[in-house]
């Protein structure tokens, strides 16, 4: 979930020295690829899709022809996140997109369905037409805090914006949904049991299973491309002080996501393993097309908890490689289903503003 893309500078971090194998700079640089840093050897033909505002979680349709994303742009009258869909343009062509959410409340975490004709997303529009209030961070020592709006439920809409189905209807936060490769299962985060846990739902029957049970935030989950694994970010408060703080914030509908690691399990929650032990915030994890390697965003290299860059690693956490090099924010990576392109959000080329935009690139191994 995006929440607020500039969580970055506000993240309080503990210094941890972690060795990682930086990607070597290529011997030659294509100077026409002006949005790519020289060290970003895995990107080619980077194209900026959006210009201005906060644009994030840009995810491909199953056929790779479209992208769905969330956008806040007060200058355009979009006061808080709404969901948009656009066709993936040819290189050098503009990206045209339209709103498919209701324009009411706040939305987050959209994803295409298997038929490429619908999207799912979480929205607070049934709880109120206005944007829900932002967190007063001064109350919490100016720490970065995520609001868990209780009005969030998950809906399915067609590409004209018509809601065809409400998928969740529990009290409290339901959001952060993605679908399995065959489109039949949905994994999402809910606080329905009193904690932030993952659930897997059969979209046809509505039957579901809770797949995490440990105390702490579990969210941002994805299925592996082969459909056998779940991958997500999680906090695990351990000390009495950490547990007390987590529970107190959760009781207020809040969570502090400054210490998260990457976890993996079977799709039923069995064989759960913590993959990273990097410290700080390791999040937005996703599988690479081979279902073996993982790509994710992290601030673990930086004492002040910022910037965030994109990294890859093996499924066991080994062979950590730094992929992106922006000095601000790179995150939310997703590969097209054929593995040829990658979409991500970045602060690059924003003219010194706080704007976060969507980018796509050809992926080079």
Residue with tokens 């343009």: 89
**Confidence tier at 30 by pLDDT (50, 70, 90):** very low
**Confidence tier at 338 by pLDDT (50, 70, 90):** very high
Specify which of 1-5, 26-30, 156-160 reaches the highest per-range mean pLDDT: 156-160
Sign of CA dihedral 135, 141, 142, 148: negative
Average pLDDT (237-264) is 96
Q: What is the pLDDT of residues 130-179, one digit of tens each?
A: 999 999 989 998 888 999 999 999 999 999 999 999 999 999 999 999 99
pLDDT attached to residue 304: 82
pLDDT over 70 percentage in the chain: 91
Q: What is the pLDDT of residues 255-271, one digit of tens each?
A: 999 899 999 999 999 99
Average pLDDT (43-62) is 98
DSSP 245-279: HHHHHHHTTEE--SSBEEEEEETTS-S-EE-----
Query: What sections of 69-173 are H helices per DSSP?
Result: none
CB 331 within 8 A of CB 57: no
Average pLDDT (240-257) is 96
H or E element in which residue 330 lies: strand 330-335
Cα–Cα distances (Å) from 185 to 14, 173, 205, 226, 319, in that order, read 37, 19, 10, 13, 31
Residue with tokens 């932002």: 134
Residue 26, sorted as left (phi over 0), alpha (psi -120 to 50) or beta, turns out to be beta
Q: What is the pLDDT of residues 345-360, one digit of tens each?
A: 999 999 999 999 999 9
pLDDT attached to residue 2: 52
CATH code assigned to 7-363? 2.120.10.30
Average pLDDT (183-189) is 98
pLDDT attached to residue 1: 57
Q: Using CA atoms, how far apart are residues 112 and 117, in angstroms rounded to an integer? A: 8
Residue 67 bridge partners (DSSP):
60, 86
pLDDT attached to residue 76: 95
Q: Domain residues of the chain, as ranges?
A: 7-363
Q: Using CA atoms, how far apart are residues 97 and 268, in angstroms rounded to an integer? A: 36
Q: Using CA atoms, how far apart are residues 83 and 119, in angstroms rounded to an integer? A: 9
Sign of CA dihedral 315, 318, 324, 328: positive
**Confidence tier at 31 by pLDDT (50, 70, 90):** very low
Q: Are strands 321-322 and 21-22 parallel, antiparallel or unpaired?
A: parallel
pLDDT at residue 231 greater than cutoff 50:
yes
Q: Residues 26-37, buried b or exposed e (16+ Cβ, 10 A)?
A: eeeeeeebebbb
pLDDT at residue 28 greater than cutoff 80:
no
Average pLDDT (19-40) is 58
pLDDT over 90 percentage in the chain: 88
Q: Using CA atoms, how far apart are residues 134 and 127, in angstroms rounded to an integer? A: 15
Tell me, rounded to whole angstroms, the distance of Cα 248 from its chain centroid.
Answer: 25
Q: Which of 212, 327, 332, 329 is nearest to 263 (CA)?
A: 212
Q: Using CA atoms, how far apart are residues 69 and 97, in angstroms rounded to an integer? A: 10
3 state DSSP class of 48: strand
Q: Using CA atoms, how far apart are residues 38 and 138, in angstroms rounded to an integer? A: 39
pLDDT attached to residue 17: 27
CB 358 within 8 A of CB 55: yes
Q: Using CA atoms, how far apart are residues 2 and 282, in angstroms rounded to an integer? A: 14
Q: Using CA atoms, how far apart are residues 17 and 37, in angstroms rounded to an integer? A: 24
Average pLDDT (207-225) is 98
Taking all residues of the chain, what is their mean pLDDT, rounded to a whole number?
91
pLDDT attached to residue 15: 27
Q: What is the pLDDT of residues 279-335, one digit of tens each?
A: 999 999 999 999 999 999 999 999 887 899 999 999 999 999 999 999 999 999 999
Q: Using CA atoms, how far apart are residues 221 and 269, in angstroms rounded to an integer? A: 12
Residue with tokens 């592996």: 224
pLDDT attached to residue 143: 87
Q: Which of 180, 174, 195 is nearest to 247 (CA)?
A: 195
pLDDT at residue 59 greater than cutoff 80:
yes
Lowest-confidence range among 3-17, 62-76, 268-282? 3-17
């Amino acid at each position: 979930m995006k929440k607020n893309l500039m969580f970055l500078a506000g993240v309080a971090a503990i210094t941890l020295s972690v060795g990682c194998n930086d990607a070597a700079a290529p011997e030659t640089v294509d100077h026409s690829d002006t949005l790519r840093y020289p060290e970003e050897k895995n990107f080619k033909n980077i194209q900026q899709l959006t210009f201005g505002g906060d644009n994030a979680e840009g995810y491909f349709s199953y056929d790779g022809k479209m992208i769905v994303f969330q956008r806040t742009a007060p200058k355009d009258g979009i006061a808080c996140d709404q969901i948009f869909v656009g066709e993936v343009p040819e290189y050098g062509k503009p990206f045209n997109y339209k709103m498919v959410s209701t324009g009411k409340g706040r939305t987050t975490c959209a994803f295409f369905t298997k038929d490429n004709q619908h999207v799912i997303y979480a929205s607070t529009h049934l709880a109120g037409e206005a944007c829900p209030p932002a967190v007063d961070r001064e109350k919490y020592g100016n720490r970065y805090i995520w609001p868990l709006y209780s009005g969030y439920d998950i809906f399915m809409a067609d590409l004209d914006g018509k809601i065809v189905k409400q998928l969740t209807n529990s009290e409290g936060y339901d959001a952060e949904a993605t679908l399995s490769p065959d489109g039949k299962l949905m994994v999402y985060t809910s606080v329905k049991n009193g904690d932030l846990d993952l659930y897997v739902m059969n979209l046809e029957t509505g039957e579901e299973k809770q797949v995490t049970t440990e105390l702490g935030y579990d969210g941002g989950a994805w299925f592996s491309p082969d459909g056998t694994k779940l991958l997500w970010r999680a906090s695990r408060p351990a000390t009495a002080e950490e547990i007390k703080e987590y529970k107190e914030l959760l009781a207020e509908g809040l969570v502090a996501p400054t210490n998260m690691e990457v976890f993996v399990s079977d799709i039923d929650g069995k064989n759960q393993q913590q993959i990273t032990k990097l410290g700080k915030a390791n999040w937005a994890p996703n599988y690479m097309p081979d279902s073996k390697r993982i790509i994710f965003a992290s601030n673990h290299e930086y004492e002040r908890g910022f910037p965030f860059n994109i990294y890859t690693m093996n499924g066991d956490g080994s062979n950590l490689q730094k992929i992106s090099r922006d000095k601000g924010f790179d995150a939310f990576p997703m590969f097209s289903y054929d593995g040829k392109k990658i979409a991500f959000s970045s602060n690059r080329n924003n003219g010194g503003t706080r704007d976060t935009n969507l980018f796509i690139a050809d992926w080079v191994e």
